[in-house]
Copies of this chain bind each other. A is one copy, B any other.
Amino acid sequence: MAVPRAAKTQRRTRIQEEKEERILDAALDVFSSSGFRGTTIDQIAEVAGMSKPNLLYYFRTKEAIHRTLLERMLFTWLDPLQAFDADGDPESEIRSYIRRKLEMSRDFPRESRLFANEILQGAPHIEDELKGPLKALVDEKAEVIRAWIKAGKLARCDPYHLIFSIWATTQHYADFDVQVRAVLGERRAGEGRFEDAARYLEQLFMSGLKIGIQSEP
């Protein structure tokens, strides 16, 4: 009897781990650029270099692959915001948050697009995660920001929209990559665009929030 995913040995074999990883990597490729419904198992199988039934031996359904990817992604997604430290000072905390998020757009664009796709379609698979853990985390960090404002370390502003604007501007470079490249043209669309973006965003947010500037009482 061939029960998938090694029910007998319980411990996953080397070959299982490798194949599952290859499948998830291929699936991330396809899902992130075609969305859930736009992706076929055959496409994933082809990218992963195996037959469809073989792939389905490791993941029983298309949904199972997608679910696994979303779970992994959400975890790393919340990570930078977790690191936001109430005891740090606003300047370095916000600055490094922006930098980290931008690095994620540069290094994990597929994950960003997978997330964007999911949200665009109305977040059918992760609505609970958004309303639960994500909201809780943002609420917590918004409170931190509010405290900084009260302490006069930051310009008065809506903490939620501040967070939204950091998400939007940084993820833009992953999600709208094609557009960014098209507009910048070949000459400026190299890897340097991320450093340019970092410089610009730092300036925008730092002086936009009047961090380190004591003008206007």
Contacts and interface: CB of A to CB of B under 8 A. Distances in A.
A2 interface: no
B183 A176 contact: no
B38 A36 contact: yes
Contacts of A175: 116, 119-120
A130 interface: yes
A41 interface: no
Contacts of A119: 175-176, 178-179
Interface string A83-100: 000000000000000000
Contacts of A182: 123, 127, 130-131, 134-135
Copies assembled:
2
Contacts of A209: 204, 208
A113 to B, nearest CB: 6
A51 to B, nearest CB: 22
A34 interface: yes
Contact of A35 (B38, B183, B200): B38
A95 to B, nearest CB: 14
Contacts of A201: 161, 165
A157 B204 contact: yes
Interface stretch (A8-16, A52-60, A166-174): A166-174
A78 interface: no
Contact of A130 (B116, B131, B178, B196): B178
Interface string A147-175: 00000000101101111110111011101
